[in-house]
Amino acid sequence: MSYLLIGFGIFFLIFSLLISIMIWMENKFLAGLKFFLLFLPLPLLFFLAGWYRFPYEEIIGILLISATVITGIIILFPSKTNKFQNRSIPVNRIDERDTMFSRKDLVPDTKHFREYYVRNPEKKAKDDLFRELPGLLKPGTIYYNRLAFAAANASFFTIEQLHSLVRGNKTNEVESVNKNQITRFLKTWAKKLGILDVGITELKEYHLYSVGGRNERYGMEVINSHKFAIALTVEMDYAMMSTSPLAPTVMESAQQYQNSGSIAIQIAQFIRNLGYSARAHIDANYELICPLVARDAGLGEIGRMGLLMTPGYGPRVRIAVVTTDLPLFIDPPTHDPSVLDFCTKCRKCAVICPGQAISFEKRKEINGVFRWQINSEACFTYWCKAGTDCGRCIAVCPFSHPNNLLHNLVRRGVNNSILFRNLAIKMDDVIYGKKPAPENSPDWM
């Protein structure tokens, strides 16, 4: 019995050391140390029980091993939630002019400005609050950083140059295509170009804005008769996002808008070269709501912070979309209630949000859909103070951890078991902190 107990002790010691090293390798030394110290009593208990002689040692040894094995089985035993089974669809299309990105572009004393606030008088006072602040990527903001802001602006400038390429004429006559072959080619090639994940869905009315709200599309009805939408995600770097809301975060998000946008344009042009119509939807030039399309294309669920929660990277992604009439195989709808159950219990993003923009409550029915709605005015007003697009909610989300063995095992457990989910929420708070401080900017910055 004593050899068995010591064997268990060695197993748990190696296990806790390996996990701690994996966490240290993410540059989270304190978190790794916390995990090691938290776990240490378990191997110590087995070592003591195996080493020392005491009355009833056989019985106590058996009880100790049984309790550990039973606890493990209980935590890991598959148990699915029955809640969140239905995936509802929005009743009405959203007017892009109501989004913060459209409202921030309204210039006082212009026709659009006057018209908008005559139609929406209740929004005027809220919008005046952000207009009094320095603004996104502007000097005078809390996290102003001349080099980082210039770099982010360079990305946004590049994206603007790409806007003229989102549409284009077909360059060839249509030739019949093998749906299977073209779908496989397109998906594999997109990944070779740097795309993390690709999903294809039928384009639905509710994916599209009702009326455009940016630049020359302002006030124009959105008409898109394409049959399919290809959703593309790119990763935002973990280390850069961990600094949020500091300046590196806006550099990273701008860069990934640019990367996803340029690949979407390349794919749209590829489709036109095959003789089919295609339109890329990229930053500041969307006809549709990217997270909704990506959700329906099987790339994830929409979580508490209103963003797409992908299985391997959580909300730490940017999305671009290509709509087309090229015949493609659509991905079967996926639905992961475990993410919604996790979000219902977790609330970490709501606790940390510096703009107090994320709801602590349960999902509510909004526009025919059960969802969480963030207070977009409060979020954007904070961006105008901070100077960056903040992203603190993305950085602290337990699903945003790196896509490595450790976190993928945790993700598997979260998907598999309600008890594991509850434990993972607590452990994330204990190990990484309930309100973790932003990491420092990288040395080279």
Is residue 349 within the footprint of ligand SF4 (CB under 6 A)? Answer: yes
What is the smallest separation between the CB atom of 352 and ligand SF4, expressed in angstroms? Answer: 6
Is residue 382 within the footprint of ligand SF4 (CB under 6 A)? Answer: yes
Q: Which one of 238, 342, 420, 432 is in contact with ligand SF4 (CB under 6 A)?
A: 342
- Taking CB under 6 A as the binding criterion, the range among 66-74, 185-193, 267-275, 303-311 that sits at the site for ligand SF4 is 303-311
Q: Which one of 379, 406, 410, 418 is in contact with ligand SF4 (CB under 6 A)?
A: 379
What is the smallest separation between the CB atom of 395 and ligand SF4, expressed in angstroms? Answer: 8
Dist CA 9 CA 275 (whole Å): 65
Nearest-CA neighbor of 5 among 57, 70, 75? Answer: 57
Residue placing its CB nearer to ligand SF4 in the complex, 288 or 357: 357
Residue placing its CB nearer to ligand SF4 in the complex, 19 or 358: 358
Q: Which one of 293, 358, 410, 414 is in contact with ligand SF4 (CB under 6 A)?
A: 358
Query: How many residues sit in the footprint of ligand SF4 (CB under 6 A)?
Result: 24
What is the smallest separation between the CB atom of 118 and ligand SF4, expressed in angstroms? Answer: 28
Exposed/middle/buried for 300, CB within 10 Å: 0-12, 13-18, 19+?
A: buried
Dist CA 346 CA 244 (whole Å): 20
What is the smallest separation between the CB atom of 350 and ligand SF4, expressed in angstroms? Answer: 7
What is the smallest separation between the CB atom of 398 and ligand SF4, expressed in angstroms? Answer: 5
Q: Which one of 347, 370, 403, 415 is in contact with ligand SF4 (CB under 6 A)?
A: 347
Q: How far is CA 192 from CA 6, 186, 263, 313, in A?
A: 48, 10, 10, 18
Is residue 240 within the footprint of ligand SF4 (CB under 6 A)? Answer: no
Residue placing its CB nearer to ligand SF4 in the complex, 207 or 348: 348
What is the smallest separation between the CB atom of 340 and ligand SF4, expressed in angstroms? Answer: 9
Is residue 391 within the footprint of ligand SF4 (CB under 6 A)? Answer: yes
Per CB under 6 A, which of residues 396..425 are in contact with ligand SF4?
Answer: 397-399
Residue placing its CB nearer to ligand SF4 in the complex, 249 or 324: 249
Q: Which one of 94, 230, 288, 390 is in contact with ligand SF4 (CB under 6 A)?
A: 390
Is residue 348 within the footprint of ligand SF4 (CB under 6 A)? Answer: yes
What is the smallest separation between the CB atom of 329 and ligand SF4, expressed in angstroms? Answer: 31
Q: What is the largest CA-CA distance in the chain?
A: 88
Residue placing its CB nearer to ligand SF4 in the complex, 279 or 371: 371
What is the smallest separation between the CB atom of 72 and ligand SF4, expressed in angstroms? Answer: 24
Residues forming contacts to ligand SF4 in the complex (CB under 6 A) are 303-305, 342-343, 346-349, 353-355, 357-358, 374, 379, 382, 390-393, 397-399
